[in-house]
Each structure stands twice: as structure tokens, then as C-alpha cells.
Chain A
Amino acid sequence: MDRAMVREEIQHALDQLPVDHREAFILKYVEDMSYEEMAELTGAGVSALKMRVKRSCDRLQELLEGVVR
């Protein structure tokens, strides 16, 4: 599976997350923001954002098992 196909699978998995979870994951890992910056941007609390990121990671690991190692 080449990178483009993996990327497509990842995009598909991200689409299955709730919007606020997907937003938190992308801001944290793709945009490389700190939780404080994310809180300022989204208006959500830091602890809530941490929880969203944690749940996003758990869900993505389930969805992308065997795709991303």
C-alpha cells in the first residue's frame, strides 16, 4: 500500500470521528499546536481537549489496525 492509499485510509478514518474529536486530533498532531493554543482557538477547556485527543487516538488505532504500523 503506497503512501497515497494510506493517506486516503487515514482520511476515511478521520471522517468517522465526531467533528470536535477530529478537530482536536488535527490541531494537536497535524498543526502541532499546544493544548493552550488549541483551547484559545476552539474555546474548549484544556482537559476536554486532552480527552478528545485521547479518544481520537484510541478510535483511530481501532480503525487503522493493519493499515498504519
Chain B
Amino acid sequence: MSHEKDSAADSDAFAQRIASFLQDPVQLDSDFETRVMAAIEKENKGIPLERGEAFPTRDARQQDIRRRPSRNWWLREHRMTFSPLAMTALAIGFAAIVSLATAVVTLGIQGREAGAFPPQRVAAISSGQRPATPGRTAGLRSSRDTVYIMRFAIAAGAARSVSVVGDFNGWAKHATPLSPVGHHGVWVVEVPLPPGRYEYAFIVDGKQWVPDPLAIQRADDFDTHSSVVTLGS
């Protein structure tokens, strides 16, 4: 530590000695003033100065001050050099950023137009409590990508099991069981379905065919009644 201090002090003393030489007044030769004035006149486009005239003028000095580079780094001119490889890499990087941004914006617009962000729950229809009619659902805006959450419900208080069959599950008896909700004998299941017209019915206790009493019904060739619901337009 002491050695470092001594070294710094020596260095400082050495620098002071050097500075003392540089601070010596400079002896100018006799024609120095003549040469300076000639250089100034040359700079002033050959116009000789009048004796006693201040040069440069105040306006010229102010203009000169305005032309001086600013101390602020951001306002000064800077010279930068790049190798061809660095320039190529910068150009490629810039092009990649622009392409990526364009792609993101384009895909976002297309996705929004195509309904790529479907709502979680577009339609909830309770066939046991609210009739599902074509008129009710036809007004809902839909597209090929829209998925409806169809809620099938029926009041069957004495039932031990309830399932729903329809053309959406191939009329399979055990494919879509309903679950009891609350203490009032209501059985419910929710099924995601794309837009379309569906026929369905409930199977109570595995054997009793029950069409939805609050939905539109149709009879087949054997006079078996099913319910009909239409999702989407």
C-alpha cells in the first residue's frame, strides 16, 4: 500500500516536471504576427482586414460557436466503421426482424377474421329447462371453427342412470352419461359440438327411451320420437 502511494507520488511529481517544461512561454519569431494575419486573411477569402478591425466579427464568432461540435455525445457527429461482414449481418438481422413483425401482424389479423380464438362458451342450452329451438340458436354467429358447449339436461328424479344418445355419438347408449346435479333429480351433461343439426334422446335406467320434452321432436319411420337441436346458422 505504501509502495503504491510512493509510486503514485513519484508519477505525479514526474508529470509536474514535464508540465513545467510545457508551460514555459513560447518565444515567437518576429514575423509571427505577419504570418498569422496572412493566414487569417486567406481564411477570410482574400479580403484584407482594415487596420483596427476586429476579426472575426461578433456574428462570425457566434456562427463559429454554433458550428462547434456539441459536448453532448448524442449531438456530436461520430464516425463509425463496419466491416462488410458486420454490415451483412446487420442487414440480415434487420430484415429478419421486419419479416417476423410482418408475419405476426398478418397471422393475427387472419386468425381474428377466421375466428381462431373461439369463445369458451358460445351457447348453453338447457333442454330440460329451456327449449332449444332453431330460432334460438340460428342467430348465433358461427364459423367452421366454432365449438358449442351443448348442455343436455332432464328432470328424472327416480332414475338411477341417464345417458344421452344422438347422431353426434353414434347413438351409443353408454357413450355420454349424465350426472345428477343438486337434490331435485336433475341430470346434466355438457358436450362440445360443432355447428349443425342434431337429433337426440335420453336413455333412462339403460332401457327407457325419452325424447326431450321441451325440444322440437320428430318421428322416424317406426314412429320413434327424437328431439332436434340446431347449433349455429
Contact = CB atoms under 8 A, between A and B. Distances in A.
A29 to B, nearest CB: 4
Given A40-B71, A41-B71, A43-B71, A60 B24 contact: no
Interface string B1-45: 000000000011011111101111000000000000000000000
A7 B20 CA distance: 9
B120 interface: no
Interface string A34-69: 000000110100000000011011101100100011
Nearest to B12: A57
Majority SS at the chain B contact face = helix
A26 B71 contact: no
Given A7-B22, A10-B22, A26-B22, A57 B71 contact: no
A10 B21 contact: yes
Contacts of B24: 3, 7
B82 interface: no
Contact of A43 (B17, B21, B72): B72
B15 A25 contact: yes
Contacts of A60: 14-15, 18
A43 B76 CA distance: 11
Contacts, number: 45
A64 B11 contact: no
Given A40-B71, A43-B72, A6 B15 contact: no
Contact of B16 (A29, A41, A61, A64): A29
B72 A68 contact: no
A68 B21 contact: yes
Contact of B21 (A6, A40, A56): A6
Contacts of A28: 15
B14 A68 contact: yes
B72 A30 contact: no
Contacts of B12: 57
A68 to B, nearest CB: 6
Contacts of B14: 57, 60-61, 68
Q: With a 10 A CB-CB cut-off, give which of B11, B18, B19, B71 has the most chain A CB atoms.
A: B18
A25 B22 CA distance: 11
Contacts of B16: 29
B175 to A, nearest CB: 75
Interface of B: 11-12, 14-19, 21-24, 71-73
Given A58-B11, A60-B18, 14 more contacts: A3-B21, A10-B18, A28-B15, A29-B22, A30-B22, A30-B23, A40-B71, A41-B71, A53-B15, A54-B11, A57-B12, A57-B15, A68-B17, A69-B17
